[in-house]
Amino acid sequence: MLVYIENKIKNNSQVLSFIDKFKNIDVVYVDNYKNIFDKKMPVWNKEKTIIFAELKWNCLTQAPEDYGHERFSYFLKNSLNCIFDCRYCFLKWAFVNDFQVYFVNYDDMKEEISLSLENYKKLWLKQRKLRFYSSDYSDNLWMNGFSNFVQEFVPFFEILDGAMMEIRTKSVNIQPLLDLWFIPQNTEIAFSLNPQELIEKYEKWVASLDDRIQAVNILLEKWFKVWLRFLPLLPVENYQQIYWEFIDYIKQKIPMDKISSTFASGLLYTKADYINILKKDPYFDIMYLLEENEDGFVREKKEIRDWFYNQFRQLDKKCMVCLDSESG
């Protein structure tokens, strides 16, 4: 494994812990990680090359209004890129190369989170929790062996009054959660689920549907707060039959009365991202089933979205939909 480390963080405790844990590695020190990350590199290095760096800009980005539970929320960025290879994922065209980047200045991130929470409490919405969505730039649960994200951030959120963190995942690496000395109250584990045949076709290297369901049930048995995220809903040929069978399977395998909340979303791109993915993957058939909406997003037709949402609201009448409050 080849590891690039910025000089300024070579003595960071997280970096030193990683070096001690993974003995058989080659380390190269650099002044700025972008000197590596912003250059095109051979794809075959993806799983063998990682980068440790200091985040030099804000770790929080405000999510679109009404993205999920609350009117206001934030995306938390602590790493970049994902080991999984989902064909529809925006990360496939977001960066020049596929190397995984781990930002390790956790104290700075925690300070920014705390400050954002303090500012939020000053608003008239102070009675509502402020939500932080992690894993939009990587799969934090799968990457925990490199980042110690669970050990660092789950306990931190427990001491924050009025904050809730979501860890979204397609992994089954739940052992770090089970190894905690408490059951988190301010962290929800959100499993992204899709029919197995679509996982096999569009989501390389992820955990199978059955393995994810097993992980869901283990965490539920331990009283963890678990979300189910049905996304992206894909309008493939015969999609209605595929998703009918999928929803029926979920009903059989997961005790839905124990699930904290559910969330559904179709494919959703900005126009610029949509153009970029077509440039990189011009034969991706699903892309040609999308259209630009009045809200500026490129997504499935409204009648398709409404069909999906109606099905998942039969599974869970409180199922939220992504930036589509008028549908259904």
**Domain holding 163: CATH number?**
3.80.30.30
Average pLDDT over residues 285-296: 89
Share of the chain above pLDDT 70, in %: 95
Identify the pLDDT of residue 328. Answer: 47
User: What digits encode the pLDDT tens for the residues 131-190?
Assistant: 999 988 899 999 999 999 999 999 999 999 999 999 999 999 999 999 999 999 999 999
CA 225/CA 273 separation, integer angstroms: 33
Share of the chain above pLDDT 90, in %: 74
What does pLDDT average to over the chain? 91
Q: At residue 44, does pLDDT exceed 80?
A: no
Q: At residue 71, does pLDDT exceed 80?
A: no
Q: 105 lies in a domain? A: yes
Q: 18 lies in a domain? A: no
What are the φ/ψ torsions at residue 179 (nearest 5 degrees)? -80, -10
Q: 172 lies in a domain? A: yes
CA 19/CA 27 separation, integer angstroms: 9
Are residues 256 and 315 in contact, defined by beta-carbon separation less than 8 angstroms? yes
Based on the structure, what is the number of domains in the chain?
1
Q: 243 lies in a domain? A: yes
**Which two structure tokens, joined as six digits, stand for 325?**
């409050």
**Which two structure tokens, joined as six digits, stand for 143?**
């990457």
pLDDT bin (cut points 50, 70, 90) of residue 125 is low
Neighbours of 171 (CB within 10 A): 25
Identify the pLDDT of residue 325. Answer: 59
What are the φ/ψ torsions at residue 168 (nearest 5 degrees)? -90, 140
Q: 158 lies in a domain? A: yes
For the sheet with 187-193, list strands across it: 60-62, 73-76, 130-134, 163-169, 187-193, 225-233, 261-266, 320-321
Q: 326 lies in a domain? A: no
**Which two structure tokens, joined as six digits, stand for 7?**
């000089």
Q: 87 lies in a domain? A: yes
Q: 285 lies in a domain? A: yes
Q: At residue 57, does pLDDT exceed 80?
A: yes
- The boundaries of the domain holding residue 313 are 55-321
Closest C-alpha among 88, 87, 91, 69 to residue 79: 91
